[in-house]
Amino acid sequence: MIINAPNSPVTLEEYGAMNMEQRRKVWLDISDITEAEFEAHMAHEKAREAIVPKVGSEAPDFVADVLDRDRKRTGEQVRLSDLQGAPVGIIFGSYT
């Protein structure tokens, strides 16, 4: 069974069967942004894709804040390169 979000004009099954132009029309129909704003956003996202690391490539070095059990910042930070040689699990999400 496929359940679509409330007020969605299409089901997930219908959406999955659409080509990009059909999806674009749905996005514009349900969005509160102009077509120009939408096109600018899509161009920005396409440019970002060019710099995203590919699956299987070496991860770029970065620094992350350490959170406590209550998801509050501890003031500590960890740099990925400092963990080289150790198993590392990374969970991406928003905890703010």
89 within a domain of the structure (yes/no) = no
Residue 88 pLDDT greater than 80, yes or no: yes
| Average pLDDT over every residue of 6-17 | 85
Question: Count of domains in the chain?
Answer: 1
| Average pLDDT over every residue of 75-96 | 85
pTM: 0.50
Residue 6 pLDDT greater than 80, yes or no: no
| Average pLDDT over every residue of 1-28 | 81
| Average pLDDT over every residue of 43-71 | 89
So what's the pLDDT on residue 91?
Answer: 75
Please give the share of the chain, as a percent, with pLDDT higher than 90.
Answer: 51
So what's the pLDDT on residue 8?
Answer: 78
The per-residue b/e assignment along 19-38, b for 16 or more CB within 10 angstroms, e otherwise, is eeeeeeeeeeeeeeeeeeee
Strand ranges (DSSP E) for 1-96?
Answer: 63-67, 73-79
Range of the domain at 26: 12-49
